[in-house]
């Protein structure tokens, strides 16, 4: 943990915002929603990997030898928070196909409202890796907090949290627990409603992605 101010990185690129606006529309189809989420996740993946270390390697072009920048090892693990995280995972892997992948499944106990883990699988050697946790909606923040808590126990070198939309309440709650974990998001909406949905938001991301409503 560091003493520095908790960070929220707004990745408000016009292409991302345009695609997000189409996703928000209630008449956008399931297939378009899924395709747009994948496209946005590729663009977000591009931004999030900006600080990956490179090393110089000698290569031969058809004309000469040169020292060329190459990504240093396979050091990123993308952790998908089930189930909606899978929609972001696919796009991210298109730009970083060598990334390792982990999954965490949580459900909210209806009585205690505490997130309960039902699935957890991450690669070995987490201590070498930067973990990027993906979950489209940072709403109350409770599942993101639990997911990051669990991942921190595996000892990764660094953790980042990536979402598609965040609520101010979720950001505050998340950073009260994990001030050392930066949040990356294209947009911060107005508020949460009484059921924990982001307003104006886009509805239930999992239902819209999988057509389960
Ligand atoms: N999860 C969603 O899918 N949508 C919200 O608005 C909040 C949480």
- 16-54 pLDDT, tens digit per residue, is 999 999 999 999 999 999 999 999 999 999 999 999 999
Contacts of 86 (CB under 8 A, 6+ apart): 80
Give the domain CATH number at 148: 3.40.50.2020
CB atoms within 10 A of CB 183: 24
207 is catalytic: yes
Q: Which atom of ligand 1 is nearest to the CA of 199?
A: 6
State the catalytic residue, choosing from 24, 83, 108, 150.
108
Q: Which domain holds residue 186?
A: 14-50+74-208
**Which residue is closest in CA terms to ligand 1's atom 2?**
204
State the total domains in the chain: 1
Whether 43 maps to a domain, the answer reads: yes
**Cβ pair 145, 174 in contact under 8 A:** yes
How confident is residue 1, by pLDDT bands cut at 50, 70 and 90? very low
Whether 25 maps to a domain, the answer reads: yes
The four Cα atoms 69, 123, 149, 51 give a dihedral, to 10 degrees, of 0
pTM tops 0.75: yes
Contacts of 130 (CB under 8 A, 6+ apart): 52, 75, 76, 77, 156, 157, 158, 159, 160
ω into 200 cis (within 30 of 0): yes
Whether 56 maps to a domain, the answer reads: no
The residue with tokens 């980042």 is 160
Whether 9 maps to a domain, the answer reads: no
Strands 165-166 and 191-192: unpaired
- Which of 125, 139, 137 shows the shortest CA–CA distance to 162? 137
Whether 177 maps to a domain, the answer reads: yes
Q: What is the pLDDT of residues 114-167, one digit of tens each?
A: 789 999 999 998 998 999 999 999 999 999 999 999 999 999 999 999 999 999
Whether 44 maps to a domain, the answer reads: yes
pLDDT, mean over the chain: 94
130-157 residues labelled b (16+ CB within 10 A) or e (exposed): bbbbbbbbbbbbbbbbbbbebbbebebe
- Ligand 1 pocket mutation pick from 81, 83, 139, 169 by most atoms within 8 angstroms of CB: 139
């Amino acid at each position: 943990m560091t003493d520095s101010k908790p960070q929220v990185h707004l990745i408000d690129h016009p292409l991302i915002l345009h695609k997000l606006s189409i996703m928000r529309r209630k008449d956008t189809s399931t297939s378009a929603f899924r395709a747009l989420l994948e496209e946005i996740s590729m663009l977000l993946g591009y931004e999030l990997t900006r600080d990956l270390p490179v090393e110089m390697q000698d290569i031969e072009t058809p004309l000469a030898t040169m020292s060329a920048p190459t990504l240093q090892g396979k050091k990123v693990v993308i952790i998908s928070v089930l189930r909606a995280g899978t929609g972001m995972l696919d796009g991210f892997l298109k730009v970083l196909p060598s990334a390792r992948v982990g999954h965490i499944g949580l459900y909210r106990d209806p009585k205690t409202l505490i997130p309960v883990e039902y699935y957890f699988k991450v690669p070995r050697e987490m201590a070498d890796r930067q973990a990027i946790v993906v979950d489209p909606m940072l709403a109350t923040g409770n599942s993101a907090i639990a997911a990051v808590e669990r991942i921190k126990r595996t000892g990764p070198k660094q953790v980042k949290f990536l979402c598609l939309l965040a609520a101010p309440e979720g950001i505050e709650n998340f950073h009260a627990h994990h001030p050392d974990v930066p949040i990356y998001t294209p947009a911060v909406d107005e508020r949460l409603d009484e059921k924990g949905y982001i307003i104006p938001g886009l509805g239930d991301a999992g239902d819209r992605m999988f057509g389960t409503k």
